């Protein structure tokens, strides 16, 4: 393959960030696209996913170079790559013409007697030699489908290191060396790991083949019960910026620095546009210093001592089953699960799964959620959600998760008049986005009166009854 192009500083694309992209083209040189966000899942159809043409046209409108970063086909699991997502992923790559492609060194599926299930959150693999071999095989398979280079991203790990696990840096180094691929080095994830009791960032960096670091992720986080979370919720910590100025001159093949921030936090934390621009300017200064102190002779081979297989470590598949069940609040069933359940990091991961799943409901079934809270109270609605989570595993696609939850609510026949009609209206809105077709929803009350009141968080003072139809348009 030809040498990679130097792209510069960029952000993870979101439609909500388009005003920033449009106004500051000089500071934003590249857009990182997470394609799964712009797919539509079709229940009961084959193929299961298709690309949202309007979203991809909108992305391609922007002149910046593109990178594709997967968020649904991680390479660190024993179940291999998610075959159902590979075809739409490759179509996304074909449309976007990225300089390279990346995915997470994590797992998102685990096996069970009832079959594989989604864990609800990207989870850290066991850092063993067996996992190294497994990840290398997954990466090689991923690379065989691509016409552009591949890099993996190091994920945050909120768990305490297991006895005899490979150190964080050695684990990453062995995989990149044996898979012959690049590294998307998430510096904020390393920062989280150090703050939460894992290997210091400098020790990780000293273990890595720095020639293989093609891309850097930087972000901000938040405190949660004594842990520092990779929440993408603000500006990059100053001490992490200082560390980057120390190490980026040693990165000879760095091609992009990507700032990650979730748009909702910009509003929630009152981060103004000037503050974001200053952050991008700092990253541009970081970009200017990369590679200055790199050696003239490059060698991407890692000088690692032969490692000994530790028989006391669990099998990766057992690790995945244990972690997947625990983070979804299933009771421990064997010795490994009992041991893992004592790690306080499990509680952090449980909260992250809950946050993702509850966020899907609140964002996509907003009016139904408010309607239930106004009638039943927030505590009762939370109990209903927990009952649903206890009997179902997560779906990675928010619209499908919302549809399943709506069915669950209907079956409970809650004492909320007209709730089923509001649910049907919101699910029909999601389906209309998928299909591009109109849908008619029947109401036994005046729909505008009810929906407008719920949109401002209130119940209507008076609600005329009758037979009404609402045409839901895409």
Class of 8-289 in CATH: alpha beta
Write down the pLDDT at residue 25.
65
Nearest C-alpha neighbor of 69 from the set 121, 177, 142, 168: 142
Write down the pLDDT at residue 113.
86
Write down the pLDDT at residue 294.
77
Cis peptide bond prior to 311, omega within 30° of 0:
no
Write down the pLDDT at residue 433.
79
Q: CA-based Rg of the chain, rounded to a whole angstrom?
A: 23
What distances in angstroms separate CA 446 from CA 133, 422, 428, one per listed residue?
A: 61, 12, 18
Write down the pLDDT at residue 300.
47
What does the domain layout of the chain look like in residue ranges? 8-289, 365-472
Q: How many CB atoms lie within 10 A of CB 390?
A: 10
Q: How many CB atoms lie within 10 A of CB 44?
A: 5
Write down the pLDDT at residue 309.
67
- Write out the chain in H/E/C secondary structure: CCCCCCCEEEEECCHHHHHHHHHCCCCCCEEEECHHHHEEECCCCCCCEEECHHHHHHHHCCCCEEEEECCCCCCCCCCCCCHHHHHHHHHHHHHHCCCCEEEEECEEEECCCCCCEEEEEEECCCCCHHHHHHHHHHHHHHHHCCCCCEEEEECCCCCCCCCCCCCHHHHHHHHHHHHCCEEEEEHHHHHHHHHCCCCCHHHHHHHCCHHHEEEEEEECCEEECCEEECCCCCCCCHHHHHHHHHHHHHCCCCCEEEEECCHHHHHHCCCCHHHHHHHHHHHHHHHHHCCCCCCCCCCCCCCCCCCCCCCCCCCHHHHHHHHHHHHCCCCCCCHHHHHHHCCCHHHHHHHHHHHHHHHHHHHHCHHHHHHHHHHHCHHHHHHHHHHHHHHCCCCCCHHHHHHHHHHHHHHHCCCCCCHHHHHHHHHHHHHHHHHCCCEEEEEEECHHHHHHHHHCCCCCCCCCEEEEEEEECC
Write down the pLDDT at residue 268.
93
Provide the whole-model pTM. Answer: 0.93
Spell out the per-residue pLDDT of the chain, length 474, in tens.
Answer: 568 999 999 999 999 999 999 876 689 999 999 999 999 887 666 668 889 999 999 999 999 999 999 999 999 999 999 999 999 999 999 999 999 999 999 999 999 888 999 999 999 999 999 999 999 999 999 999 999 999 999 999 999 999 999 999 999 999 999 999 999 999 999 999 999 999 999 999 999 999 999 999 999 999 999 999 999 999 999 999 999 999 999 999 999 999 999 999 999 999 999 999 999 999 999 999 999 987 765 554 556 766 666 678 999 999 999 999 999 999 999 999 999 999 999 999 999 999 999 999 999 999 999 999 999 999 999 999 999 999 999 998 888 899 999 999 999 999 999 999 999 999 999 988 777 789 999 999 999 999 999 999 999 999 999 999 999 988
């Amino acid at each position: 393959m030809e040498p990679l192009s130097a792209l510069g500083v960029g952000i993870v694309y979101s439609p909500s960030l388009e005003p920033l992209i449009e106004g500051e083209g000089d500071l934003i040189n590249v857009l990182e696209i997470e394609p799964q966000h712009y797919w539509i899942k079709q229940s009961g159809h084959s193929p299961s996913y298709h690309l949202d043409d309007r979203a991809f046209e909108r992305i391609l409108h922007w002149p910046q170079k593109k990178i594709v970063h997967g968020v649904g086909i991680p390479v660190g699991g024993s179940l291999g790559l998610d075959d159902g997502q590979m075809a739409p992923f490759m179509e996304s790559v074909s449309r976007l013409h990225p300089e390279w492609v990346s995915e997470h060194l994590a797992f998102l599926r685990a096996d069970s007697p009832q079959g594989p299930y989604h864990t609800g959150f990207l989870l850290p693999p066991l850092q063993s030699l067996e996992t190294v071999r497994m990840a290398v095989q997954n990466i090689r398979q991923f690379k065989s489908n691509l016409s552009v280079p591949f890099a993996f991203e190091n994920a945050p790990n909120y768990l305490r290191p297991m006895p005899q696990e490979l150190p964080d840096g050695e684990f990453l180094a062995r995989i990149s060396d044996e898979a012959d691929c690049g590294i998307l080095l998430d510096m904020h994830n390393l920062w989280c790991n150090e703050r939460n009791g894992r290997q210091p960032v400098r020790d990780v960096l000293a273990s890595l083949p720095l020639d293989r670091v093609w891309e850097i992720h930087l972000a901000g986080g938040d405190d949660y019960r004594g842990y520092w979370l990779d929440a993408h919720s603000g500006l990059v910590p100053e001490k992490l910026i200082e560390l980057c100025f120390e190490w980026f001159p040693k990165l000879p093949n760095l091609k992009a620095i990507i700032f990650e921030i979730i748009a909702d936090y910009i509003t929630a934390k009152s981060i103004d546009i000037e503050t974001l621009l200053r952050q991008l300017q700092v990253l541009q200064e970081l970009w200017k210093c990369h590679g200055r102190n790199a050696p003239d002779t490059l060698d991407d081979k890692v000088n690692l001592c032969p490692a000994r297989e530790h028989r006391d470590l669990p099998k990766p598949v057992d690790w995945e089953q244990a972690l997947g069940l625990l983070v979804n609040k299933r009771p421990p069933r064997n010795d490994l699960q009992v041991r893992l359940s004592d790690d306080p990091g499990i509680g952090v991961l449980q909260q992250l799964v809950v946050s993702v799943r509850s966020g899907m409901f609140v964002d996509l079934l907003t009016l139904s959620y408010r309607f239930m809270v106004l009638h039943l109270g927030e505590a009762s609605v939370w109990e209903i959600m927990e009952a649903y989570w206890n009997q179902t595993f997560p779906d990675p696609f928010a619209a499908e998760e919302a549809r399943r939850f709506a069915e669950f609510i209907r079956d409970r026949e809650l004492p909320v008049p007209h709730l089923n009609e509001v649910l049907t209206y919101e699910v029909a809105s999601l389906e209309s986005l998928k299909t591009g077709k109109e849908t008619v929803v029947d109401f036994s009350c005046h729909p505008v009166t009810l929906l407008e009141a719920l949109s401002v968080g209130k119940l209507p003072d008076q609600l005329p009854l009758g037979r009404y139809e609402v045409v839901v348009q895409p």
